Amino acid sequence: MKRSSILIIYTGGTIGMRRNENGTLVPFDFNTIEQEFPAVRNLNVDISVHKMEPIDSSNVTPARWSELAHIIANNYTDYDGFVVLHGTDTMSYTASALSFMLDNLSKPVIFTGSQIPMGILRTDGRENLITAIELAAATDAQGDALVPEVALYFQNRLFRANRTSKHSAEALSAFESRNLPPLAEVGVNIVYNYSVISKPCVKDAPLQVKDRLDKNIIIVKLFPGLSHESFKAMLSIEGVRGVVLETYGTGNAPTAEWFINTLREVIARGVAVVNITQCQGGAVAMQLYETGRQLQEAGVICGYDMTSEAAVTKLMWLLGQELSNEEIAAAMERSLRGELTN
């Protein structure tokens, strides 16, 4: 079988830290990866490394997502797959954004990182990195990639990236995908869940980077006691074009007149308001209760079972494309990259 070639893109985060002679944590030189981890030589994979200016992922910006998307596009024909090493804090945001920005993707882009720095003996980074490379390189008998989508590998599970959230600051299994089963589970063997993995709609269509995002959005998380003044003030911020509303349960919110009227006013001004649930699992179904039905009548868009990370990045991305309000609402309610179930 032909050797796969994989490009590792290092962006920063805990995975890239090692101890120097003085015992302090310093960035790891991924160009020496094969000397550090001789095990990667046994993978039957050619590895190259592209190092971005390393950052703590709390500092990530949409401009950086665009830079990353272009690195992938510029190297697309030379590699069979990509492994992106990223800080865990915002990995689900970056990976969700990339899933929308990379149009016609037909090669694996696997995000991973670690909770314990690479240079610490008990690191989870070594296994995450080695398995991510193996997943990015895996092909079927025809030589087609087994996972041709943006995915996130962490602690024995490969997820569709835009279905994930970081759920623990402590556990080594830091990521969850509550509304979609893993694309693969890693034990003694790697077991792929073929029925869940997306295949490209058009095979061999050229990859296109659609990196225009509009940052003029806000997230509003409901809580009992949220006042009319604060709600109105947040929704009236100048320039806001989109609101991700984190509601209760199956998409419920107060039925108070001031609440519904505030939403009606902003929607009438052309602001896209998307309803997602604060619950970790399950979906919005606005028709179930009166408290949800009123939102539907006010013109709120249903976010179904999207994570906040997927809803925020999808809304930014759709607002960045030249679409009408109706097209944005329709696309928000439709699965574009497997990010929602409806």
Q: What does the block give as tokens for 121?
A: 């003996």
Residues in a beta bridge with 145:
139
Minimum CB distance to ligand ASP smaller for 50 or for 107: 50
Q: Which of 4, 57, 106, 252 binds ligand ASP (CB under 6 A)?
A: 57
| Position 56 contacts ligand ASP (CB under 6 A) | yes
Which residue is closest to ligand ASP by CB? 87
| Position 58 contacts ligand ASP (CB under 6 A) | yes
| Least distance to ligand ASP, CB of residue 54, Å | 9
Catalytic residue among 11, 14, 90, 123: 14
| Least distance to ligand ASP, CB of residue 16, Å | 8
| Least distance to ligand ASP, CB of residue 57, Å | 3
Residues in a beta bridge with 45:
4
Rg (CA), the chain: 21
| Position 11 contacts ligand ASP (CB under 6 A) | no
| Position 14 contacts ligand ASP (CB under 6 A) | yes
| Least distance to ligand ASP, CB of residue 63, Å | 17
Rounded-to-integer distance, Cα 81 and Cα 75, Å? 10
Among 85-93, 127-135, 194-202, 259-267, the segment contacting ligand ASP (CB under 6 A): 85-93
| Position 88 contacts ligand ASP (CB under 6 A) | yes
Q: Which of 87, 148, 182, 320 binds ligand ASP (CB under 6 A)?
A: 87
Minimum CB distance to ligand ASP smaller for 79 or for 154: 154
| Position 171 contacts ligand ASP (CB under 6 A) | no
Rounded-to-integer distance, Cα 236 and Cα 247, Å? 19
φ and ψ at residue 116, rounded to 5 degrees:
-115, 135
Q: Residue 65 contacts by C-beta under 8 Å, 6 or more apart in sequence?
A: 94, 97, 98, 101, 211, 213
Strands 150-154 and 165-166: unpaired
| Position 277 contacts ligand ASP (CB under 6 A) | no
Task: Answer for the pair 7, 133: CB distance below 8 angstroms, yes or no.
Answer: no
Rounded-to-integer distance, Cα 1 and Cα 251, Å? 50
Rounded-to-integer distance, Cα 296 and Cα 322, Å? 25
Task: Answer for the pair 128, 15: CB distance below 8 angstroms, yes or no.
Answer: yes
Q: Residue 262 contacts by C-beta under 8 Å, 6 or more apart in sequence?
A: 228, 231, 232, 235
Minimum CB distance to ligand ASP smaller for 131 or for 294: 131
Among 9-17, 31-39, 177-185, 252-260, the segment contacting ligand ASP (CB under 6 A): 9-17
| Position 164 contacts ligand ASP (CB under 6 A) | no
The number of residues that bind ligand ASP (CB under 6 A) is 11
φ and ψ at residue 135, rounded to 5 degrees:
-65, -40
**Among this protein's residues, is 32 annotated catalytic?**
no
Question: Which among 245, 330, 242, 254 is positioned nearest to 292, based on CA atoms?
Answer: 254
| Least distance to ligand ASP, CB of residue 229, Å | 34
- Sign, CA torsion 154/155/159/162: negative
Q: Which of 13, 108, 251, 320 binds ligand ASP (CB under 6 A)?
A: 13
| Position 119 contacts ligand ASP (CB under 6 A) | no
| Active site (catalytic) residues | 14
> Which residues form the interface with ligand ASP (CB under 6 A)?
12-14, 56-58, 87-89, 113, 115
